Structure 1
């Protein structure tokens, strides 16, 4: 259920939390933003570790 990025992106994005959705920017609604915020609040942050803290 996770998406990964290669090291092609900037070094600072190594531990960034990215939300991918099917809506394009013109169709991005407050409901989609709310889904992103709920997803972000429910993330299990491991801070680079592969095992849960």
Structure 2
């Protein structure tokens, strides 16, 4: 699913607590923040997304440093 006009994702939310990507956007998500809540997809609520954004903001300086080292 390569899209040249779309930027790489900043956050990937993987439901059910699994930490694997199953080859979904494997190259595009190399510097993305992976958030894995334990809730299944139908049970995701707004507060899960709020926690994903807060978790991303906490790790943002590290991601920026790693992407600039490239």
With normalisation by structure 1, the TM-score equals 0.60
Aligned partner of 1:40 in structure 2 is 56
More helix by share: 2
Cα distance in 2 for partners of 1:39, 1:11 equals: 22
With normalisation by structure 2, the TM-score equals 0.49
Structure 1: where are the runs of 5+ without partners?
A: none
Structure 2: where are the runs of 5+ without partners?
A: 1-18
Cα distance in 1 for partners of 2:39, 2:20 equals: 20
Aligned residues: 45
Choose between structure 1 and 2 for higher RCO, CA contacts under 8 A separated by at least 6 residues.
2
User: Counterpart of 2:31 in 1: which secondary structure?
Assistant: coil
| Gap change, CA 1:28 and 1:5, over 3 Å in 2 | closer
More strand by share: 2
